[in-house]
Amino acid sequence: MKLNATVHELIGASVLCWLATADTDGFPNVSPKEIFAACGDDEIIVASIASPVTAANIAANPKVCLSFVDVFRQKGFKIKGLADSLDPSHAGFAARAATLQALAGPKFEITSLHRIKIARISRILAPSYSQYPETDEAEMIASAYATYRVSPVE
């Protein structure tokens, strides 16, 4: 399964993702991650900075689901796949860590990351888009600005 340009663009526009994992008994765990990116067209990478349960679950059970939403456009994607964890001893670590380090800035050193090989991708849309087909993005953005009491920086 490949990421297309729309998914790439929305990853860049989404401030947070939510990474869901499960332990060997199937108990779910979900937590937010800000430092995440696409790596090529078939992988998502996530910084493992302060997420011990996520890391332990991935070690025990690689099946994960990651979702992200552009809160202004109110659109996003849900990605399911198989995850593993890379540390500096892994040959693929340095290039991926550099991508995440650029997002994190100097405050956090990326010493571990999760790599998610993408199996399935599906859209997430606010219900207004499906239930009121005349809804357009500009209207949703204006409504989100009002909800969050923010306005765009000129």
Ligand X SMILES: Cc1cc2nc3c(=O)[nH]c(=O)nc-3n(C[C@H](O)[C@H](O)[C@H](O)COP(=O)(O)O)c2cc1C
- Residue 112 interacts with ligand X (CB under 6 A)? no
3-state secondary structure of 108: coil
Q: How far is the CB of 15 from ligand X (least distance, A)?
A: 8
Q: How far is the CB of 18 from ligand X (least distance, A)?
A: 9
x/- letters, 32..51, toward ligand X (CB under 6 A): xxxx-----------xxxxx
Number of residues that bind ligand X (CB under 6 A): 15
Compute the distance between CA of residue 135 and CA of residue 123 in angstroms, rounded to an integer: 17
Name the one range near ligand X by CB under 6 A: 27-35, 60-68, 133-141, 144-152.
27-35
Name which position in 24, 25, 52, 153 contacts ligand X (CB under 6 A). 52
Residue 100: φ, ψ to 5°: -70, -35
Binding stretches for ligand X (CB under 6 A): 16, 29, 31-35, 47-54
